Amino acid sequence: MEIQEKIANSITILTLSGEIDLNQSPKLRLALREKAKNKTPQLLLDFAAVAYVDSSGLATLIEYYQSAKTFSGKFAICSLVPRVRSSFDLVRLSEVFTLYPDQAAACQAMTSGSA
C-alpha cells in the first residue's frame, strides 16, 4: 500500500493505493496516528486506488475516527470502489463514516462546512 499526501483548501488529503490487509494496515495506522497527534483539523482519505481493505484496515479507520472526535477534527473518506464499499456496508461503517463519491465532492462539502 502506498500513501501520498497533499493539502488542498486547508484539507489534508491522503491518497491511498493498493491493498490494506494485515500486513499493510500498520502503515496506515502509523500515518493516521501522526495525523491524530497533530490534531489535523480536516482529513480526507481518497480510496480510489484501494482494491481491498480487510478488518484490520477498517478497525484502523475506526480508531482514527475516535481520536478525531476528541479534538473535533473533520474526517471523511471518498471514492470507494464497489468491492471496498461492500466491506464498509457489511459491517455498517457506511453509516459511521462520512463518505463521498469523489474527491471534488468531499472537498466541496468539507470546505463549506457540511461534512
Chain contacts with other proteins (rule: CB under 8 A): 19, 21-22, 25-26, 29, 51-52, 54-56, 58-60, 62-63, 82-83, 86-87, 89-93
Nearer to other proteins, 39 or 83 (CB): 83
- Tell the smallest beta-carbon distance from residue 7 to other proteins (Å): 28
Nearer to other proteins, 88 or 110 (CB): 88
16 and 24 Cβ atoms separated by less than 8 Å: no
Cα(56)–Cα(106) distance, integer angstroms: 24
Cα(97)–Cα(27) distance, integer angstroms: 20
The residues, any chain, with a CB within 8 Å of residue 38's CB and separated by 6 or more, are: none
- Tell the smallest beta-carbon distance from residue 2 to other proteins (Å): 15
- Tell the smallest beta-carbon distance from residue 28 to other proteins (Å): 11
Most distant CA atoms of the chain, gap in Å? 37
Nearer to other proteins, 54 or 105 (CB): 54
